[in-house]
Amino acid sequence: MKDAYYFSHDSNARNDAKIIKLRIDFGWEGYGLFWALIEILREEKNHEIECDCNAIAFRLQCDCIDIEKIIKNYGLFKIENNKIFSVSLKDRMNLKSEKARKSAEARWNKSDDKDANAMRTQCERNANLCEPHAIYANTKEKEKEKEKEKKEELKKEEYIYTEFTKLKKTDFEKLVSEYGLDDTQRMIETLNNYKGANGKTYKNDFLAIKNWVVDRVKQQPLNKKSLVDHAVDLIEHPERLKIMTGGFFTNDTTKSIGVIDDSKSELSEPF
């Protein structure tokens, strides 16, 4: 959405002879369309737009024939070089810019600063920035810079992935802090399995876990068999243990606790 710009509006504009003729033919709807056209011109560079009645009617959601009559039949607008403009609006905007320049000059003429001439030049530039296209360009440039900074911040985020889930490392740490490592792993597995089986996607897996997965896991206490399977899974895949603990455990750690190749068969005996 474009920035809103100011322009003067006579309080008795409705009584202007040209406007009265317009109101006779179109009523207050025509009056509203007239001011809508003026607002569009105010937003544009040089306060002109292409003479394309179909495009204008589409923007204002009205009949093209009505727009063409309002532009051409009442002397409210002019068309030159296929450009529509309002002489009155242009005069007002030129006067506004001129007043800004004169005001700036008056301020600097009062100064005894040796660098007044250089500063006056800068002030004139500031006055020129009052033109809508300059303000608009400056605003858009700032928005682009903010968007670029936001993207750079997102690139710095560290994520933890499973087959179907994706969590920020900071969110993972919040879950571990609140629910413990084992329950956090079960929550991730529960969500991962649900998404894989149902083709479900979420904009934010962390919020999905907080919204419903936590309750689901609490309703299904971990039995001894599941605990063993979970431990075996971490032993066989030490890289997962490293991710989950933020690097505290490594491959050497799993070797040091005496893990042997046939541990799974022994631990998988039914209880």
- The confidence score (pLDDT) of residue 268 equals 35
Mean pLDDT of 249-267: 43
Token readout for 86 is 């309002």
CB 6 within 8 A of CB 92: no
Give the count of domains, the chain. Answer: 2
Mean pLDDT of 51-61: 92
Does residue 93 carry a pLDDT above 80? yes
Instruction: For residue 142, name the pLDDT band (cuts at 50, 70, 90).
Output: confident
- The confidence score (pLDDT) of residue 91 equals 86
Does residue 10 carry a pLDDT above 80? no
- The confidence score (pLDDT) of residue 148 equals 80
Q: Where in the sequence is the domain holding 136, given as residue range(s)?
A: 1-156
Domain endpoint, select from 114, 134, 156 = 156
**145 and 225: one domain?**
no
Q: How far is CA 34 from the centre of its chain?
A: 32
Tell which wins on pLDDT, 102 or 94: 94
**66 and 113: one domain?**
yes
**136 and 81: one domain?**
yes
Instruction: For residue 210, name the pLDDT band (cuts at 50, 70, 90).
Output: very high
**169 and 37: one domain?**
no
- The confidence score (pLDDT) of residue 224 equals 53
Q: Given its phi and psi angles, is residue 61 left (phi above 0), alpha (psi -120 to 50 degrees) or beta?
A: left
Instruction: For residue 35, name the pLDDT band (cuts at 50, 70, 90).
Output: very high
**147 and 228: one domain?**
no
**140 and 186: one domain?**
no
Tell me the backbone φ, ψ of residue 205, rounded to 5 degrees.
-65, -30
Token readout for 180 is 């413990």
Highest mean pLDDT among 105-109, 111-115, 175-179, 252-256: 175-179
Domain endpoint, select from 137, 156, 175 = 156
**28 and 93: one domain?**
yes
Domain endpoint, select from 156, 186, 206 = 156
**114 and 176: one domain?**
no
Does residue 260 carry a pLDDT above 60? no
**12 and 114: one domain?**
yes
**98 and 6: one domain?**
yes
